[in-house]
Structure 1
């Protein structure tokens, strides 16, 4: 086959065959396709799109360009993926809760991207915990604890890794087809039997409108199902941070407050909703409502906390983390309240600005080589629609230095809008997409 012929087909809005897409993906992985050809391929797909079947074919071809895991357990192998938001630590609540309900969760996660936090960075704020496990250790942790949260090996979907880098410099990142293939190729390489997707919409999400989120969710669900992995999606609101803390150790503290201290709120609500869909689809619950109740029960009776503790210890963390988590998490030396400048109601929260504020404090990366400070971030973030009086705290800054706190305070005051009229907070769950 010839890369030029495949690119010419796509440029002319003709369908590329399954075999041609598989050949191109192998060429991306083994470098026999040049950067110029990869860029032309990405641009042709971005401009002309792919039909549903070729999109699934490309996803499977990229999945098969590297290692594909397989599992042999006495329960279903499931996973969840989020398109990214601020204060979104659902994976850390959901994975152990699913394990407590009889599922196995080999979760291959990522690091922070742009203004959104990364699950791996949050996990690494626990002393000693490792996410770079080899395959044998990964299998052992999933077998013993029921769940593991790890980084991808270098040979998981290498075609996607190459194409993603090309897309980043050729203005083709926003292609719905390529986003879909990128997300699913990595997830499906993990050997999943069932998947649920949390597609965010709002000020703190990559998809700002419900229409954009619906288009992505539909593309992901249809493609995953065509690729043989039963998948559903929830479109959830990201017009304010999901948890009341942003930042790596601070979000771990939020998770432990849910798992160990009975804290309720949007983080637990969304975890239960996503888990209910997965347990139903995987046959562990008779319907979504029962699955939702099962997740909630595993949190309430402590089984999810026990599963989380087992996972943390199996990945190198402290053996008594669940009992003494406050003692183990790092704390920032500068803690400052940001106070409302006037009376009124919180009428808007720019989640992207808050996420970038955490990055500016050192809680994320501005360039790939940056070292993340696990202690910094924001806590006690006020909720959308709250009534405030002048001088009332809007949130707390956790910073390494006073000058960083100064800059963060200015950003926060710009990110939180206070108006005269009361506003209604959007529903957390906008839609469910099953097929």
Structure 2
């Protein structure tokens, strides 16, 4: 039986998962693929730590360049992460004519255009299913299953850390700091959670999905990003009263000549299936012309779920090797010559619904002043709720709006902030609700 040699770079959490699947499921993989997926190398600077896996002598090495330069290696699997040595190793592997698989979303979001061009010029395959959504086959779905569709929108929960934190705040009434500490204790959050909680990890994934769905060059820099660190439990409680849950969403929408691309806390109605995605799970909802709406749901991270997605790419490439084909499916879904620079719509130009919370003094005429400023800026109020007085003499005034332009909203809130009847900065949370009215 033919043998396909695989070299794994990085023996950390996900790398260990990949190795475990390749070894423990070797028989079933051979039966399904028709070749022997031979683990020729695992490279890591730490060759002493026991990962609980017995490797054949000579497989574990401490020199990654030995792997990418070995002419017998067919597929290089990059599990190192980051944008430094990982990029160098991937480009070297491609230069040497090797096919590459990675889960490195930061690298793809930052340098995917360069890597894709290099792979196309060299005639090798580049797999990255695990870079978005872990074991959810979202990349395969967009590139293959939905290939006959015009994709209108993609809305997703793409970071398990944030979803876990927001779930704990919603269900247990925890503060952000308490929920974050729980996430760290459970292993869902890093010691430094900035990349996750400030939305940057989600933005990396959205940049990749936009390229796949809309035939645009990867554009990370212009995505609007807002994290969850300032979310107050009181706003989540108000959201529940209005029939909404708060989620950190990645939102990509095709507006014709431009693409909306934004990451921020968002209120979504209970009736939306995304609202029921809890804990550390991920989900993506895709709206397209032929299929209407499709939703994918699953583990977005973790040793074995992510390892499963990596192995699916290894298998796809091995099957291509059997049949002597490469580039059968374009790396970013569109043929290279069809990929364009499509501008991302500035966040000030988006139109959506809004939730506002003001801390206002309990005086006559306060509501009319706030409403007047909103009206002068073209913002129509859908509902108003006023709660009990706080100890400092202010009352929370909560408003939901009809669709409004972000720039007008910011201008109005800036004017309201200057009023002597408002004691704190207004709170703004955007709402995605098809039935919220215009």
Instruction: Confirm or deny a common fold (TM above 0.5).
Output: no
Higher relative contact order (CA 8 A, sep 6+): 1
More helix by share: 1
Give TM-score scaled by structure 2 length: 0.25
Q: Which has the larger radius of gyration?
A: 2
Give TM-score scaled by structure 1 length: 0.25
More strand by share: 2
